[in-house]
Amino acid sequence: MQTERWQDVQNRTFTKWLNNKLAARELPQAADLKKDLSNGIYLIQLMEIIGDESLGRYTRNPRLRVQKVENVNKALDYIKSKGIPLTNIGAEDIVDGNLKLILGLLWTLILRFTIADISEEGLTAKEGLLLWCQRKTVEYFPDVDIQDFSRSWTSGLGFCALIHQHRPDLLDFRSLDKTKHKENMQLALDIAHKHIGIPPLIDVEDICDVERPDERSIMTYVAEYFHAFSTLDKVETAARRVERFSDVLKSSHEMHMNYELRMRSLLKKLTQTQNVWLNTVLGDNYASLKKQSNSFGRFKSSVKREWVKEKMDLESLLGTIQTNLKTYQLKKYEPPAGLRIVDLDREWKNLLNAEAKYSKIINTHIRRVKEDMRRNFAERANSFSVMLNTISAELSTLHGDWADQLEHVNFLREHIGPLETELASVQKLWNDCVEAGIEENDYTIFTYDDLNYEFSVTVDSINNKIKYLELQLSERQKRTLSQEELSEIEKVFKHFDKNKSNNLSELEFYAALASLGLVYEEEEAHAVFAKAAGEQQGVTYERFIDIVMDELEDRDSARQVIYAFCDVADGKSFVTEEDLKNSQVRPDIIKFLETTIDKCPEGYDYLKWIRTLLDDDNDDNDDGTNRN
C-alpha cells in the first residue's frame, strides 16, 4: 500500500516534470508514463532538450516493437554516454511499461540534469540543496525548520518562505495563518507558477497532512525553486553589475562636472581676494584699522578654513574619480588646462604670499597708529598736568589782602570750565588707548585716572580757598574797633598830619604806624604804603583806619585768644574744667584742652600754653595779662 502511494505521487510529479520539459517543443502532454514513453519518442525528445543536442535519426512513428526498442535504446545509449549508470533497466522494460523502472529512470535523469549541478560548500547535490534551503529559510524559524525533504515541508510554509525570501513583494509571510497548511501550500504553488514560472510539479494533497511526503517528489519540486531563484539571482547580479558600471560612469561624469565647477569657483575666489587686498586703502585711525583687522581675522578663521577644506575635498574628489575609472580599466580623467591640482597649488601659494604681505601691512599701520595715540595722549596729559600744577602753585603762594586773594582765586576758578573740557578730551584719548589695548606709554607717567583725581583735588582746593576767604572777609566785616582805639588812632593821625591836609605822606605814614607799634622792614613798609595810598600821593584817614585794622587784626589774634581765655577764667591766670563748662564750651573741646594745656595745682595754665604756640619772631610780647 505504501509502495503504491509513493509510486502514485512520483508518477504525478515526474509526469509534470516531463511535460514541463517537453513543452519547450510544444509536444502533446504525457498522461501515462507507461504508455507515452513506451515508443521511445518522448524519451529521445527529452534527452535532446535537457542535453541540448540532437540524438540523430530515429523512428518517428514506430509501429513495431523492434522500432520502439531501437528508439528507447538510442535514448538509453545517450544517457550512458553522459556517464550516467543505468542498473537493472533495459529498453524492453520501458517498452513493456514497467512503471517502477520508468520512475527510477526519470529520477536518475532528474538527479543528473536538474539536481546534480547544485553545489553548496562541496556537498552532494542532495546535501547542497538541503543546505541552500536551510540558509534561505533560517530567519523564518521556528515557523520553518528544514531538516529534510519530507516532513519539513508539510505545512507549505517552507515554500512560502523561499518565495518571500527572494520576492517579498509577492506575499506577506507574517500574515499567513500558520495552521492552514493546504492553503499555504496552494498559495505557494500558485504564486510560484504565475509570477516566477515554476511549474506546479506536485499536488497539495501529496505534501500537506501526509505522514511522510515523498522525498524525490519534493526534491524535484524544490530543485525548480533553486534553479528559478538562481537564475533570478544571476540576472539580478548581472543587472547589478550593469547598474554599478553605469553608476560609475554616471557618477564619474557628475564628479567631472562638479570638480570643474568647484575648481573654477575656488580659483576665482582666490584671485578676487588677492585683488581686494592689493587695492585696499587702509584707514588712518585705529577704529577703521581695527575694523579692517577684524575683518581679516574673520577671513582667516572662517572663509580661509572653508577654502582649505574645499582644496582638500577637490584633491580627494579627483582621486576618487581616477579610482572609479581604474576599477573598470577606463581612460584616466584629465582636468582641463587651468583646472588641474597643480594650478590650484600655484594659486594657493600666491594667496598665502598675499595674505602674509597684507597682514604685515595691517600690523605696521596699527603699530604706527598706536604710537601716535600714545604721543597724542601723552602730549595732552602732560600739558594738562602743567596747567593743574600752575593753578596749585598760585593757590599755595597767595598772600596779601584777603579781598585781593579772593579776587585772584575767583579768577582761577574761571579756568575750571576750560580745564574740564580739556580733561574730557584727555579722557577721550585715554579711552581710545584702552580700546586699542595700549597699556604702556613711555611718553608720560600719567593716566586719565591720575589727572582726573588731581583735577578734582584742585577744584576742591579752589572751592575750599574761596569759602575760607569769604568767611574771613565776612568775619572781618563783623569786627569793629572800640571807641577808645578809634580815638587813639585819630590822635596819632592828626599828630603826624602836620599840614592838616587829611593826608599822610610816606614818612608820616611810617611814623604813625610806628607809634602804634607797627614797625616794618624797608621793603615791606613800601608795600604797605603802596597798598594804603593806591593811586594817591598819600594816605587818607579812612585808608589809615583800614590799614591799621588789617594789621592789628593779624597781630593781635593771639592776644584776642588770651583775652577770651581770661574772660572764661573770670580774670584768673588759669582756667578750670568748671570754668569751661559754665562758659558752655563743647565737651569735645574741653577734653582736647585738658589733654593739651599744661596742668597747674589750681587748674590749667593757658598763658604758658599760648606762649609756647606764639611765633618766636613775634616782637609783640604783650600776652594779654595787662588787660584793663
For residues 235 and 134, state if they share a domain: yes
CATH number at residue 382: 1.20.58.60
CATH (domain of 486):
1.10.238.10
455 and 495 part of one domain:
no
Residues 593 and 580: their CA atoms lie apart, in Å, by: 10
pLDDT at 313 over 50: yes
pLDDT grade for 158, boundaries at 50, 70 and 90: very high
Q: Is residue 545 part of a domain?
A: yes
- Arithmetic mean of pLDDT, 287-304: 89
The length of the chain is 628
Cα–chain center distance at 151: 67
Is residue 484 located within the same domain as residue 452? no
C-alpha distances in angstroms, 599 versus 526, 573, 596, 604, 609?
45, 12, 9, 4, 10
Region 593-602: what's the mean pLDDT? 87
- Residue 266: pLDDT band with limits 50, 70, 90: very high
Q: Is residue 79 part of a domain?
A: yes
Q: pLDDT (tens digit, 9 = 90+) per residue, 341-378?
A: 999 999 999 999 999 999 999 899 989 998 999 999 99
Q: pTM, whole model, 2 decimals?
A: 0.47
Q: Quick check: 552 pLDDT over 80?
A: no
Residues 163 and 100 in one domain: no
Bridge partners (DSSP) listed for residue 503: 540
- Within 13 Å, how many C-alpha atoms sit on residue 443's CB side? 15
Q: Distance between CA 429 and CA 374 in Å, rounded?
A: 9
C-alpha cell at 13: 510529479
Would you state the pLDDT for residue 359? Answer: 92
Is 529 domain-assigned? yes
Which residue range is the domain that position 520 belongs to?
Answer: 480-613
Q: What is the pLDDT of residues 315-325, one digit of tens each?
A: 999 999 888 88
- Do 531 and 560 belong together in one domain? yes
Round to whole Å and give the CA distance between 318 and 256.
8
- 120 in a domain, yes or no? no
How many domains would you assign to the chain? 4
Which domain-ending residue is among 194, 223, 242? 242
Strand partners, 202: none
pLDDT of residue 566: 80
Per-residue pLDDT at 620 = 45
* pLDDT 10s digits, 471-523: 877 766 655 566 777 788 888 888 888 888 888 888 888 888 888 777 778 88
Q: Does residue 597 form part of some domain?
A: yes
Residue at 237 is within a domain? yes
Whether 84 is in a domain gets the answer yes
Q: Is the separation of the CB atoms in 487 and 413 below 8 Å?
A: no
Q: Do 186 and 154 share a domain, yes or no? A: yes
Using the 3D structure, point to which of 242, 276, 293 is the last residue of a domain: 242
Q: Is 563 found in the same domain as 457?
A: no
CA angle at residue 22 from 18 to 27, to 5 degrees?
A: 125
Q: Are 91 and 144 within one domain?
A: no
Q: Same domain for 467 and 547?
A: no
Sign of CA dihedral 32, 37, 41, 43: positive
% of the chain with per-residue pLDDT over 90: 31
Q: What are residue 604's DSSP bridge partners?
A: 575, 599
Whether residues 153 and 168 fall in one domain: yes
CA distance 320 to 325: 9
C-alpha–C-alpha distance, residues 191 and 171, integer Å: 8
E strand segments, 28-182: none
Which of 208, 242, 276 marks a domain boundary?
A: 242
Which CATH number covers residue 7?
Answer: 1.10.418.10
Instruction: Answer whether residue 111 is part of any domain.
Output: yes
Domain co-membership, 35 together with 21: yes
Contact 199, 225 (CB under 8 A): no
Tell me: do 526 and 408 sit in the same domain: no
Q: Under a CB-based contact definition with an 8 Å cutoff, are residues 373 and 438 in contact?
A: yes
